[in-house]
Amino acid sequence: MTDATPRKRLLIRTWGCQMNVYDSTRMADVLAPLGYAPTEQVEEADMVILNTCHIREKATEKVFSDLGRLREAKRERGGDMVIAVAGCVAQAEGAEITARAPWVDIVLGPQSYHRLPEMVARASRAAGAVIETDFPAEDKFDHLPETAAPQGVTAFLTVQEGCDKFCSFCVVPYTRGSEYSRPVAKIVAEAERLVSLGARELTLLGQNVNAWHGEGPDGRPWTLGRLVRQLAEIPRLARIRYTTSHPRDMDADLIAAHGDTPALMPFLHLPVQSGSDRILKAMNRGHTADDYRRLVERLRAARPDLALSTDIIAGHPGETDADHGATVALIRDVGFAQAFSFKYSARPGTPAATMAGQVDEATKDARLAEIQALLRDQQAAFNRSRAGMLAEVLVTGPGRHPGQMAGRTPWLNPVHFDGPASLTGQVVRVAITAGHPNSLSGVIGTPSHATTRERPAA
C-alpha cells in the first residue's frame, strides 16, 4: 500500500477476557492490508467491531444497547459504515443479532476472524448480513498474517483455545469449541516477533492454558512447563505469565517450572469457584476443596513467594449457607492477592441454568458481599506486605501525573513512582514505600538485570 492509498478507520470495542484483547489485536492485523487504521472515534469509523463476551450477566443486552447507538452513527454517515459483532455473544446469539439488529453487516464467532477480509468483501456485495459462526475445519492461526502491530511492553499470545471441561455454569465449550493447542514452532515464532516489536513480558493465553499440549519439534506433545522454559531462552524477553488455569491441569512439570524458571513470574490465576465439595461436584469441576489446598501447598513449596488470584461464584444452584461457609473458609485458608468474584447468573444452554435449587437474588447478593469484603481485606493486606521491599518492576509507561511512571511487580501489582519516560520497557528496582488497596507506590533505584525474586529494601 502506498501513502496515496486512502485510509479507512477501524474502531474495535472489546469486552471480557485477555483472549478477547488478543483477538481484537489480530482482527486489526488481518484488516490492515485492506487499508484499515485504528481510531477511537465512532463518528470517523468506516468499520466498527464489537468483540463480545458471554460470560457475565446481561452480556447480550449490553451488545444490543451499543448496537442501537451505532445504528444512529451509521445513519448519520449515510449508511457508509460496516458494523460487525464478533466474539462469544456472536457465536451464541448469531441469529438473534441479525433479527433484532438488521443494520449489522457481519456476525462472526471467535474461530472465524481470520476470514474477516473475505467477509468484508462479501458484506459490500450482500443485501443482508454475512454470518460466520461455524467452527472451521482449518486452523485460524495458519491464516493470520505473520506481521503484527506492536502490542507494547506487555503482550498477549494465545497458545490454547477451547474447553473440554463443561463446567455447569460456563458457556465457553459452546462458544469457543473443544480444546486446541498450537504447535511449539508457531508459538515461539510469534513470541520472537512480539519481542522484536518491543514486548518484554508475554502472557500466554488459553481458556484452559495449562491443558496446552502442543506438538514439539520432535512431533511429540510438550507440556506447558517445557514451553515456558523454551520461551525463557528468547533474548530480551524478561517475563512470562500464563492464564487462565484449571486446577485439574496443573501437572508436576509446570509446578516445577515455577521454581526453576526465573522468567516465570510468581503470580498465578487459579480459579477455584467454590470451597464446598458438594457444589464443586455440581459444577463438574473435577476436584475437591482439599485437592485445591494441596495443590496450593505444592506450588508454594516450589515458589515460596508465589501470589495467587482466583475466581469465586456465589449462589450456584443448590448452594446452602453451609456451602457458602465452606467457600469463606477456603478463602481464609489459602489467602489471595487478587480475586474475581461474581454472583451466579444463568447462561442459556448450560446445565446449571435448569438445575433445581436456584438461589434467590437477595441471598446471592448477601453471600457475594461477604466474600468480596474478605477478598478486599486479603488484597489490601498483600499490598501492604510489599512495603519495605526492593521490588523489580517492569516499567510499562507514564503514570497518571506529570513526571510519574507506572509498572508492574512480579506479583502483578501496579506501581507508581517518579522517573523519566526513557525507563519504559526496562526492569528497574523500586523501593516500595506504601501499599494501597489497589496499587503500590515507591522510589526508584537502579536498572536491574537480576532475578525477579523479592528482596528487602536496604
C-alpha separations of 199 from 14, 28, 160, 389 in Å: 21, 18, 20, 26
Is 9 in a helix, a strand, or coil?
A: strand
Measured CA distances, 181 to 88, 134, 169, 251, 408 (Å): 19, 19, 24, 16, 29
| Contact in structure between 9 and 45 (CB atoms under 8 Å) | yes
User: Annotation-wise, does 17 bind a ligand?
Assistant: yes
229 has pLDDT over 60: yes
* pLDDT given at position 138: 47
pLDDT value for 79:
84
Predicted pLDDT of residue 458: 39
169 known member of a binding site? no
88 is in an annotated binding site: yes
Least confident of 45-59, 227-241, 303-317: 45-59
pLDDT, tens digit, 9 for 90 and up, residues 25-58: 888 888 888 889 899 999 889 999 999 887 665 6
Task: Flag whether 170 is marked binding.
Answer: yes
8-132: which CATH architecture?
Answer: 3-Layer(aba) Sandwich (3.40)
Would you say residue 427 has pLDDT above 50? yes
pLDDT in tens, 366-418: 999 999 999 999 999 999 999 999 999 999 999 988 999 999 999 999 999 99
- Confidence (pLDDT) at 449: 45
pLDDT of residue 178 exceeding 90: no
Measured between alpha carbons, how far is 129 from 103 in angstroms, rounded to an integer? 8
Confidence of residue 352 (pLDDT cuts 50, 70, 90): very high
The ranges assigned to domains in the chain are 8-132, 140-384, 387-456
Average pLDDT over residues 108-135: 75
Query: Is residue 53 marked as binding?
Result: yes
The response to whether 337 counts as a known ligand-binding position is no
**Nearest Cα to Cα of residue 307 among 265, 254, 275:** 265
- Does 138 or 254 have the greater pLDDT score? 254
* Sheet with 307-314, edge to edge strand ranges: 267-269, 307-314, 338-343
| Mean model confidence pLDDT for the chain | 88
At residue 126 the predicted structure's pLDDT band, cuts being 50, 70 and 90, is low
Q: 140-384 in CATH: which number?
A: 3.80.30.20
For residue 395, report the phi and psi dihedrals to the nearest 5 degrees: -80, 120
User: What is the predicted pLDDT for the residue at 141?
Assistant: 57
| pLDDT tens-digit readout, 252-271 | 999 999 999 999 999 999 99
Question: Is domain 387-456 in CATH 2.60.260.20, yes or no?
Answer: no
Question: Is 270 strand, coil or helix?
Answer: coil
User: What pLDDT shows up at residue 148?
Assistant: 59
Q: Which of 79-93, 272-286, 368-382 has the lowest mean pLDDT?
A: 79-93
